[in-house]
Amino acid sequence: MWTTPRRNLQVLDTLVLLGLVLVLINVNGVESRTVRILDSFGYPVTGCSRKYSASLADFGGVGDGVTSNTKAFQAAIDNLSQYASDGGSLLFVPPGKWLTGSFNLTSHFTLYLHKDATLLASQDESEWAVIDPLPSYGRGRDAVGGRYISLIFGTNLTDVVVTGDNGTIHGQGTTWWDKFHKGELKYTRPYLIEIMYSNQVQISSLTLMDSPSWNVHPIYSSNVVVQGLTILAPVTSPNTDGINPDSCTNTRIEDCYIVSGDDCVAVKSGWDEYGIKFAMPTKQLVIRRLTCISPFSAVIALGSEMSGGIEDVRAEDITGINSESAVRIKTAVGRGNYVKDIYVRGMTMKTMKMVFWMAGNYGSHPDNDYDPNAIPVIQNINFRDVVAENVTMAARLEGIPGHPFTGICISNATIGLTKKPKKIQWNCTEIAGVSSDVTPPPCNLLTDQGPANACDFPEDSFPSVKL
């Protein structure tokens, strides 16, 4: 019942049957044609013009919601991996409910979910390999030692795409959350998608639900695009972070809608002495057109694990609704390195506990071996064009005693307060910076520059993401 992967033409036929838009472009009247497939957001779906394709059903997959497809997925991808250097391949997941444990991706490869396809993550722990802790963390986050591998896992890859016409990946996280609350986890919970040590990664046009823990975790990777994801989890579910770029260079996160029990986007780069030693920053990160609902966490968090450094982050067109804070910097003595050159422009918020929050005393160490002299430097943090309504407290800005956070700039920020606001709207300690056109009036440590002094937002672009 296994069949030879079909050629190019059939891939396109399959996709046309799926109702995707094919745009044929005539180049100078010559016969050569460029084929572009657009997803429902109107983005070109890269990685769909693979030379070979196969359906999960060709490898014995059964989409009945009951049969395990772990072996079918791995057999399909193992087979398709032979085409990595011959035009690449695409694995198509047809309509149905596909129960599966973890499987590994390959290079020059696209996993494509039909809009009516749902991957159901197995709740059977034997379907999840246990792998080493991340070197930049030194241990698992839920338990010392190893961690369950992610549902969709890839390492040391080039050119890998996980996409679909808004097909669904359902983490069935409830049993994992229960085990977490009861302290019954032997290893750290799995994530839905983790890609390590890879270049040219795209994760797009999918709905992710009820992850056991984090949803999307690109780590030690470059040229990463995360686009058009809907990520949903109960707002009380533990550690269901949306997207966590971690020690990555050149990442673009755009057009995502996230409801979660933890930070919607959490930018990271390793934990205390392990992150300092691994020394891989997250840099050149763009986050735009993000909508977040996260009543107990941040729309965008920088940290708390930032020990490889975080720099060159640009966030734009950010909407926060019923969230604890907007952009939050979390760090602690022992983290070392820096969070610097952060630029945020255009935030619209409604019903927020706080708008600005920086904390130098976040705590939470992997063990007691962290270096008390590893003081993180927080510098050049810029916010402009902020409108918020129904806010309880404008800002809590708390640097590290003796090591203030510097170069903070806030301009053109209008913060409307709730009926019962905090008496003190700006609580600032150990920080330095400037402000312009901010209401309610900020603390004295943010020196008023007078009206119309906008904070910086660089207009140049990062080296283009190659995809």
| Of residues 49 and 207, the one with the C-beta less far from ligand NAG | 207
Under the criterion CB under 6 A, does residue 155 sit at the interface with ligand NAG? Answer: yes
CB of 164 to ligand NAG, least distance (A): 10
Six token digits for residue 110: 């696209």
- Taking a C-beta distance cutoff of 8 angstroms, is the pair 58, 76 a contact? yes
Which residue among 123, 364, 406, 429 contacts ligand NAG (CB under 6 A)? Answer: 429
Cα gap 35→43, rounded to integer Å: 13
Which residue among 46, 68, 351, 453 contacts ligand NAG (CB under 6 A)? Answer: 351
CA 158 → CA 106, 222, 254, 288, 466, distances in Å? 8, 10, 21, 25, 11
Compute the chain's Rg from CA coordinates: 23
CB of 420 to ligand NAG, least distance (A): 7
Under the criterion CB under 6 A, does residue 323 sit at the interface with ligand NAG? Answer: no
Six token digits for residue 373: 């002299």
- Taking a C-beta distance cutoff of 8 angstroms, is the pair 170, 120 a contact? yes
Note if the bond before 404 is cis, omega within 30 degrees: no
Under the criterion CB under 6 A, does residue 412 sit at the interface with ligand NAG? Answer: yes
- Taking a C-beta distance cutoff of 8 angstroms, is the pair 437, 412 a contact? yes
- Taking a C-beta distance cutoff of 8 angstroms, is the pair 204, 188 a contact? no
Under the criterion CB under 6 A, does residue 166 sit at the interface with ligand NAG? Answer: yes
| Of residues 302 and 391, the one with the C-beta less far from ligand NAG | 391
Under the criterion CB under 6 A, does residue 296 sit at the interface with ligand NAG? Answer: no
Cα gap 406→390, rounded to integer Å: 28
Active-site residue identified among 262, 312, 341, 437:
262
The 353-392 contact track toward ligand NAG, x by CB under 6 A, reads --------------------------------x-x--x-x
Cα gap 93→99, rounded to integer Å: 12
Which residue among 164, 261, 346, 376 contacts ligand NAG (CB under 6 A)? Answer: 346
Q: Which range in 149-157, 241-249, 312-320, 459-467 contacts ligand NAG by CB under 6 A? A: 149-157
Six token digits for residue 81: 């991996």
Query: Which regions of 294-376 does DSSP assign to beta strands (E)?
Result: 298-302, 310-323, 325-330, 338-359
Which residue among 8, 68, 364, 427 contacts ligand NAG (CB under 6 A)? Answer: 427
| Of residues 183 and 402, the one with the C-beta less far from ligand NAG | 402
Which residue among 8, 123, 158, 418 contacts ligand NAG (CB under 6 A)? Answer: 418
Longest pairwise C-alpha distance within the chain: 74
The 250-279 contact track toward ligand NAG, x by CB under 6 A, reads ------------------------------
Closest CA to 252 of 295, 296, 315, 304: 315
CB of 390 to ligand NAG, least distance (A): 4
CB of 28 to ligand NAG, least distance (A): 35
Cβ atoms within 10 Å, residue 446: 23
Under the criterion CB under 6 A, does residue 453 sit at the interface with ligand NAG? Answer: no
Binders of ligand NAG among 79-108, rule CB under 6 A? 79, 82, 104
| Of residues 84 and 181, the one with the C-beta less far from ligand NAG | 84
Contacts of 367 (CB under 8 A, 6+ apart): 138, 139
Under the criterion CB under 6 A, does residue 424 sit at the interface with ligand NAG? Answer: yes
- Taking a C-beta distance cutoff of 8 angstroms, is the pair 297, 263 a contact? yes
Under the criterion CB under 6 A, does residue 297 sit at the interface with ligand NAG? Answer: no
Under the criterion CB under 6 A, does residue 123 sit at the interface with ligand NAG? Answer: no
- Taking a C-beta distance cutoff of 8 angstroms, is the pair 98, 69 a contact? yes
- Amino acid 253 reads I
Active site (annotated) includes residue 262: yes
Three-state secondary-structure class, residue 274: helix
Which residue among 8, 10, 40, 123 contacts ligand NAG (CB under 6 A)? Answer: 40
- Taking a C-beta distance cutoff of 8 angstroms, is the pair 394, 422 a contact? no
CB of 386 to ligand NAG, least distance (A): 7
Q: Which range in 30-38, 369-377, 421-429, 459-467 contacts ligand NAG by CB under 6 A? A: 421-429
Closest CA to 379 of 327, 430, 341: 341
Residues classed as catalytic = 262
Chain residues that interact with ligand NAG, rule: CB under 6 A: 2, 4, 40-41, 74, 79, 82, 104, 129, 131, 149, 153, 155-156, 166, 197, 207, 230, 346, 351, 385, 387, 390, 392, 398, 412, 418, 424, 427, 429
